[in-house]
Structure 1
Amino acid sequence: MSVTIVRGAIAVIDGSGRVREGDVTIADGVVVESADTTDAEIIDATGCVVTPGLVNAHHHLLQTAFRTLPGTRGIPMREWLPAMAAAYTAAGVDPELTGLAARAGLAEALLCGVTTVADHHLTWPADADTVGMARAAATAAADLGARLVFVRGAARDDPQTAAASAEDIVSALVPNRAGGVSADGMLQVAVGPAGVHSDPRETFALLGEVAQRHGLRRRTQANEVVDVEIAVSRYGKRPLDLLEEWGWLAPDVTLAHLCDVSDDEIARVAASGVSATHAPGCDVPMGWGVAPVRRLLDAGVAVGLGTSGGGSNDAGHLLADARLALQVSALVGPQLPASDVLTMATAGSADGLGRPELGRLTPGSAADLCLWDVSGVADAGVADPVAGLLWAAPGRRPRTVLVAGHVVVDQGRLIRADEREVVARLFERVKR
């Protein structure tokens, strides 16, 4: 048995808002109450707050290759979508680009304390090697030591083609695995159309059938700006009305964004068992609104946190977006406490993925954790080091990151890859 002890932290956050003192004991990649520590490896957490590894519940890793493109900032979503599509076409999305973008996005994630990323992949060129693209993203995650949830999405794809591709990806990546989760828990497959603004009822139905056959999670985006306008114009109904009719308001579904929702719609979401993902780092700069997180939580909706993609957010720094979530929450209701937002970024996101073993540091949980050094000048004068994780030191990065008990970031550096090489290869591929 391999035993590791994380010792000497100022505080340990277990992922459900509880803060404690003491060690974190890890045995064979799992947090345990106690173990024989005779030959244990000791990780010194002096001066640090220890948290569960952050869980990014909504990302588009491909967009890591398309950040700050001219003509994509400060424009309406109806103009942003075709601008991004043109950039994808010009670059030629294939397994190579998918893998390089995922590698860069996942490297960034680990360096920012994110140990699990849900990648809602929506770009599938005609005659694309879809299994090759999915496998490239999965290989990037495995090489770096990150957990990946690969979401076979759809955006104006032929419904039959999308469903067949989803079947092929499940068979190739997680064959005979109920729930679409690999035996080691490092890879998960899910499905999800982009939203009612781009995909018809048939796409939702056929991908839903794939999900039902394999026990996969379902994910989509709802109630931003453009999808509300299009749904009302095209169907005479709002997105959540359509999702309810199409069988996509259910406990296995997670909805990203939810910026424009009424009290009645919140009640319906809560009653259905749907979970939500807040993405302020995308929605705020794009002018898409602020999700009423406090109202969702008070209604009983499980809420996670996501960055969304580099084409809208330009970063994959979930803790920075957690700080933004605190700042903008007062615009739509009472200000969220830091403990609630940290829970969203850990256990809340994990629950939306159907992964209760992630985002926590309680016995039986996966040993994914971060050591955040709070001994520097940026934390001088901070009365509450837990709240200070979010309020102080914008852009804070962890000193050490473990995934499944293995150190993948140490002293702020990747263990399994050269950061400069990751960057250079992506720039070479997109010729920028």
Structure 2
Amino acid sequence: MIVDGPAPAGATVVDATGCVVTAGLVNAHHHLLQTAFRTLPGTRGIPMREWLPAMAAAYTAAGVDPELTGLAARAGLAEALLSGVTTVADHHLTWPSGADTVGMARAAAEAAAGLGARLVFVRGAARDDPQEAAASADAIVRALVPGAPGGVSADGMLQVAVGPAGVHSDPRETFELLGEVSREHGLRRRTQANEVVDVEIALDRYGARPLDLLERWGWLAPDVTLAHLCDVTDDEIARVSASGASATHAPGCDVPMGWGIAPVRRLLDAGIAVGLGTSGGGSNDAGHLLADARLAMQVSALVGPQLPASDVLSLATSGSADGLGRPELGRLTPGAAADLCLWDVSGVADAGVADPVAGLLWASPGRRPRTVVVGGRLVVDEWRLLTADEDEVVARLFERVGR
């Protein structure tokens, strides 16, 4: 915990001279499995209706199982820590028929525990059998966080949530059954909405837009977070706001793929809590949230007033944490979890910068923190991962996927 006053006896003292100190970044929307499937031929700059089956074919060829899930999560979470992200929400959507789903979830959780990262594991669904998805979600909760209030472990390092991929892939029954699991265990709910393909499919299949369906199906509520929201009307924004649902912006996925830009300023002005996510390596290729914060700041002027750097930094910290129902994260206040980053701003890349906080985003693209602390524990120092051998993490994943 962050406390006022002098350092306790025996505490490690970190010299922050020349650094800006922020709360640990919170990646509110990732697909860690996709870390194993970056820059695949035929997956860039294409419509989502073509991208989805291309990625599905890659998953099938690789054989998604607990081993691959754990190795991909380990690489993605190591990358996250090295770029200042201390909490990752992993919306896992790929569950082969007959798979050991508890084993897959446990592998991701163990990868996070070994690295010292906080993980929010979202038992997602994408064309899964609704009954099987709900049974799996229930089993995962009971195995990973049994009896934990809100699905959050006692130490706050692991959280379990649920959420279908979206109305484009999952029927009403899946939303309803996962909603029942959520109510039974007090879990957060997450889904994706109003990107591109789901709007087209929803109109064609149901004669309604995604948010219309989510409202009918009970998925516009304070415990729900909606990722993407690239194509939303003023009326839809007002309805999301009235429901108390939160949102996640993912420009590092949506912009380069040509899938749109969420109107973040309009969402914020409507009183909606907005977080920031990278989405997965299959569309973004990187899990560097600060880089995506820079992109979010730059492209915001294309859909409204430009967002100030301080507002975008808030998206990547407290905004993301609020969407996870975790007010103790993403903040540097007494009583908050001791997750923080030290960003060295003393080098030539920051020469001439008038506002060092704004400079975190405007200057030095690809900036990485010098030091990262999670729960009071040093996990990165002098730009080096302390909790695993980075070369070994990389080698094991390449060995598994045959590249």
Distance 2:387 2:365 in 1: 26
When normalised by structure 1's length, the TM-score is 0.93
- SS at the partner of 1:31? coil
- SS at the partner of 2:13? strand
Distance 1:214 1:129 in 2: 21
Q: Which residue of 2 aligns with 1:228?
A: 199
- SS at the partner of 1:32? coil
Q: Which runs of 5+ in 2 are unaligned?
A: none
Q: Which residue of 2 aligns with 1:79?
A: 50
* CA apart distance, 1:84: 0.1
Residue of structure 2 aligned with 1:288, choices 230, 242, 259: 259
Distance 2:28 2:7 in 1: 35
Matched, 1:428 2:399: yes
1:311-340: per-residue Cα shift (whole Å, max 9, x none)?
Answer: 000000000000000000000000000010
1:372-395: per-residue Cα shift (whole Å, max 9, x none)?
Answer: 000000000100000000000000
Distance 1:36 1:358 in 2: 21
Residue of structure 2 aligned with 1:301, choices 269, 272, 275: 272
Q: Which residue of 2 aligns with 1:5?
A: none
| Equivalent residue letter for 2:397 | L
1:97-116: per-residue Cα shift (whole Å, max 9, x none)?
Answer: 00000000000000000000
| Equivalent residue letter for 1:43 | V
Distance 1:33 1:354 in 2: 25
* CA apart distance, 1:42: 1.3
Matched, 1:171 2:171: no
Matches within 5 A, 1:391-402: 391-402=362-373
Matched, 1:117 2:88: yes
* CA apart distance, 1:37: 3.9
Residue of structure 2 aligned with 1:409, choices 353, 356, 380: 380
| Equivalent residue letter for 1:372 | W
| Equivalent residue letter for 1:152 | R
1:7-62: per-residue Cα shift (whole Å, max 9, x none)?
Answer: xxxxxxxxxxxxxxxxxxxxxxx001225645432110000000000000000000
Could you say what the CA RMSD is over the residues aligned between the two structures, in angstroms? 0.6
Q: Which residue of 1 aligns with 2:75?
A: 104
Residue of structure 1 aligned with 2:299, choices 328, 349, 353: 328
Distance 1:364 1:49 in 2: 20
| Equivalent residue letter for 1:205 | E
1:130-165: per-residue Cα shift (whole Å, max 9, x none)?
Answer: 000000000000000000000000000000000000
Q: Which residue of 1 aligns with 2:228?
A: 257
Matches within 5 A, 1:40-59: 40-59=11-30
Matched, 1:279 2:250: yes
- SS at the partner of 2:334? coil
Q: Which residue of 1 aligns with 2:356?
A: 385
Q: Which residue of 1 aligns with 2:321?
A: 350
Matches within 5 A, 1:118-267: 118-267=89-238
Distance 2:381 2:334 in 1: 24
The verdict on how the C-alpha distance between 1:340 and 1:122 changes in structure 2, with shifts beyond 3 A counting, is same
- SS at the partner of 2:94? coil
1:223-277: per-residue Cα shift (whole Å, max 9, x none)?
Answer: 0000000000000000000000000000000000000000010000000000000
- SS at the partner of 1:118? strand
- SS at the partner of 2:28? strand
Distance 2:7 2:80 in 1: 33
Q: Which residue of 2 aligns with 1:27?
A: none
| Equivalent residue letter for 1:134 | A
1:151-197: per-residue Cα shift (whole Å, max 9, x none)?
Answer: 00000000000000000000000001120000100000000000000
1:281-314: per-residue Cα shift (whole Å, max 9, x none)?
Answer: 0000111100000000000000000000000000
Distance 1:416 1:343 in 2: 27
Distance 1:389 1:162 in 2: 41
Count of aligned pairs: 403
Q: Which residue of 2 aligns with 1:16?
A: none
Residue of structure 1 aligned with 2:282, choices 311, 319, 331: 311
| Equivalent residue letter for 1:32 | V
1:387-416: per-residue Cα shift (whole Å, max 9, x none)?
Answer: 000000000000000000000001111101
Q: Percent identity?
A: 87
Distance 1:131 1:33 in 2: 41
Distance 1:116 1:303 in 2: 16
When normalised by structure 2's length, the TM-score is 0.99
